[in-house]
Chain A
């Protein structure tokens, strides 16, 4: 336990943790939305995030964006990558819902069947990038190259924004990328919160979360609401993927697993089904993860999320803010 290393630069570690947690919070939204409405852990959501990271890479490569590019090209590249990642992720999330979950809902399948199907979807998606695409581009009869970016190896992604100190508060340096991450997560959060609480479509979401059958009797189109939440959750995961690549700059076919576990833990920590809980849980878990990787050796870092998850489920399974998308007040 290395307390000196932690307390000597507590501010830096906290900001670092918050920026890490911002990504978790955005991914956690997807879990929380789907859980709030369907009472279902969307195991494939982490793979939706993974697709987002590859989309970001695709856009950067296509436009040739690097740190040395002109400011205009970088701005266009960033905007396009953000949009493309959000759209691609939303499309994947929606496809999973239509192809896998909807037929199961029609059959009133038990929750475990949903979970197993979700695992299947998650395997299909990650293996598509780990096995199918590299085979298609490199070895299949239609192969065009022998060096595609896909495969089981870690793939580096261009980081168009150079990390630099933006400003200093009380001796703590805040870097531009950390600032972007935290602020964007907050903005997305507020936007989603307003959408769910203030708009007509958001009222439908709350109604279905509260009581699907009554909502259907009152004229809410249940299937459309469900599609909407998958699109919203997917888009948030796409934005998270874009922000993640600004900060870390790599991806892998199974990158979703660790992020997914942390984000799910964040959702449970804040109270699954609770939008604001996802933000609180995400930021908190990010900080806890960074602190503990300083306190203990970083090789144990992958376990932190699991340990937090088990502790939360054992001692406060409804999370810090309680499960509440279904209640009248979100």
Chain B
């Protein structure tokens, strides 16, 4: 074989490490189309036996489209956190802070009865129902989260890994406690009347994205998700992505080779924060209100669990993690066996996450659907340990 071709193949195998790259381009496109069509069709799935995956078949099940929407949102979050944890190897325990800032930016600027909007109304003599349009709120959310990511990262990213984790955890709590105790964020009650995305009808219930047709919200989240998957994979395979990889594997070696570690770590924080902000904004608009209770530290641990259980560093892996950890509790809610034992899976999920975290970290630290490169890294360390422990 021509050595150049061989080199190219090696490179490709290294890049994604799976068979997907070897499938012909046309077939790949076709498969992607079929998958996309399936995802769009998913809210209306009613063909048995496939419909068993729906969450609303038994009594007390959650609305299926609502669950799909939340799953899509959480996959976006897992992708954002994966940039920080999986690519750059920085443990962020306060990621919920960015999610909260995204949600609160839409609420604070878009809702006509938020204290911030009321202040602007009074200052410029605007009408009672003036507020920033949803389309403008989204960029505001992204900008604010990126800025807060940089503000958090700039002083703390020089810290060692485990210290960084604790400090970011503090950041998450600071955001929540500030939102809860300040008057300009609506305090513990939070803010209502968060705007819907356009197109708008004459009445709120005539909006295209209204409170009844939730499948449309799912489509919106899905569209954002697909766009972001595209952007993140491009980023992963760019110079920035390679720099993150180098930093994760050996920061000192990367620095010696001329990778400005601090700069790229800050980039990772900012990019991850932006994704958290987008999903937070979607979450707030769908819910119609925000309050500090949605942004507790437990949610932050849930995000970390999604990434590391799925397989940090691998987009498919973290998506699997997010789907598993958000969808399964809802699906199990209607299982009769659990009902007869008076077990509510949604209430038990934190316990199960804890169990899963320990079991997976001890037995399969690379996660369920690992990135090959990460798995090899861990296997190497294990080999070194075997030499040491003889």
Q: Which of A110, A113, A127 contacts B351 (CB 8 A)?
A: A127
Known: A302-B177, A306-B170. A112 touches B357 (CB 8 A): no
State whether the Cβ of A321 lies closer than 8 Å to any Cβ in chain B.
no
Kindly identify which residue among B155, B343, B347, B362 contacts A100, using a CB–CB cutoff of 8 Å: B362
Q: Give the contacts of B341-358 with A (CB-CB under 8 A).
A: 341-343, 347-348, 350-351, 353-358
Contact A116 B343 (CB under 8 A): no
CA distance A299 to B358 in the complex (A): 34
Residue of A nearest to B366 (CB): A113
Residue picked from A125, A140, A303, most chain B C-beta under 10 Å: A303
Chain B 93-109 interface 0/1 with A at a Cβ cutoff of 8 Å (1 = within): 10000000000000000
For the complex, is A244 an interface residue (Cβ under 8 Å from B)? no
Q: Is the CB of A120 within 8 A of B389?
A: no
Q: Is A313 on the interface with B (CB-CB < 8 A)? A: yes
- Which stretch in B214-222, B253-261, B263-271, B376-384 binds the other chain? B376-384
- Inter-subunit contact A116/B91 (CB<8 Å): yes
Given A104-B361, A112-B91, A213-B388, also A127-B170 (CB < 8 A) = no
> Per a CB cutoff under 8 Å, which of B162, B357, B365, B385 touches A111?
B162
Residues from 116 to 135 in A contacting B, C-beta threshold 8 Å: 116-117, 119-125, 127-128, 131-132, 135
Q: In the assembly, what is the distance between CA of A110 and CA of B380, in Å? A: 11
Sort chain B's interface into a size bin: 35 or more
Contact, CB under 8 Å: B358 / A100: yes
Q: Which residues of A contact B162 (CB under 8 A)?
A: 40-41, 111-112, 115
Could you say which residues of chain A place their CB within 8 Å of the CB of B357? 116-117, 119-120, 123
Which residue from B348, B350, B388 sits with its C-beta under 8 Å from A108? B388
> How many A residues face the partner with a CB closer than 8 A?
50
Whether, in the assembled complex, A64 has its beta carbon less than 8 Å from a beta carbon of chain B, the answer is no
Provide the bound-state CA to CA distance between A317 and B297, in Å: 25
Let me know if A107 and B365 touch, CB within 8 A.
Answer: yes
A-B contact count (CB 8 A): 131
Q: How far is the CB of A120 from chain B (nearest CB, A)?
A: 3
Q: Is the CB of A302 within 8 A of B173?
A: yes
Please indicate the chain A residues that have their CB under 8 angstroms from the CB of B72 in the complex.
none
Q: Kindly supply a per-residue 1/0 record for chain A positions 4-25, scoring 1 wherever the CB is within 8 Å of any chain B CB and 0 otherwise.
A: 0000000000000000000000
Decide if A306 touches B91 in the complex (CB within 8 Å). no
> Which residues of the other chain, A, contact B348 by a CB distance below 8 angstroms?
127, 131
B163 within 8 Å of A (CB atoms): yes
Question: Is the pair B362, A104 in contact by a Cβ cutoff of 8 Å?
Answer: yes
Q: Which residues of A contact B385 (CB under 8 A)?
A: 105-108
Pick the residue among B166, B304, B353 that contacts A41 (CB under 8 A). Answer: B166
Given contacts A111-B162, A313-B159, A313-B167, contact A123 B384 (CB under 8 A): no
Contact pick for B350, options A106, A127, A297, A310, CB 8 Å: A127
B156 at the interface (CB under 8 A from A): yes
* A123-B304 contact given A113-B361, A117-B357, A302-B173, CB 8 Å threshold: no
Flag if A300 contacts B361 (CB, 8 Å): no
How far in angstroms is the closest Cβ of chain B from A29? 18
Expressed in whole angstroms, the Cα–Cα distance for A151 and B384 within the complex equals: 45
Residue of A nearest to B352 (CB): A127
Q: From residue A305, how far is it (CB to closest CB) to chain B in Å?
A: 8
**B32 located at the interface, meaning its Cβ lies under 8 Å from any Cβ of chain A in the complex:** no
Determine if B16 is an interface residue (Cβ-Cβ < 8 Å).
Answer: no
A112 touches B356 (CB 8 A): no
Residue of B with least CB distance to A124? B354
The reply to whether the CB of B280 lies closer than 8 angstroms to some CB of chain A is: no
- Cβ of A109 and Cβ of B378 under 8 Å apart? yes
By a CB distance below 8 angstroms, the chain A residues around B388 are 108, 213
A116 engages B361 (CB within 8 Å): yes
In the complex, which residue of chain B has the Cβ closest to the Cβ of A305?
Answer: B170
Contact A123 B161, beta carbon cutoff 8 Å:
no
Partner of A313, one of B163, B177, B378, B381: B163
Give the distance to chain B from A119, nearest Cβ to Cβ, in Å.
6
Q: What are 20 A-B pairs with beta-carbon distances under 8 A? A: A41-B162, A100-B362, A107-B365, A116-B91, A116-B361, A120-B356, A121-B354, A121-B358, A123-B301, A123-B351, A124-B355, A127-B350, A128-B351, A131-B347, A131-B348, A135-B342, A135-B343, A140-B341, A141-B341, A302-B177
Q: Which 8 A-B residue pairs are closest in the complex by CB-CB distance?
A: A120-B357, A123-B354, A108-B385, A306-B170, A127-B351, A139-B342, A124-B354, A120-B358
Instruction: Show the binding face of A for B, using Cβ within 8 Å.
Output: 40-41, 99-100, 103-113, 115-117, 119-125, 127-128, 131-132, 135, 139-141, 213, 257, 261, 264, 268, 297, 299-300, 302-303, 306-307, 309-310, 313-314, 317
A-binding residues in B (CB < 8 A): 89, 91, 93, 155-156, 159, 161-163, 165-167, 169-170, 173-174, 177, 181, 297, 301, 304, 308, 341-343, 347-348, 350-351, 353-358, 361-362, 365, 378, 381-382, 384-385, 388-389
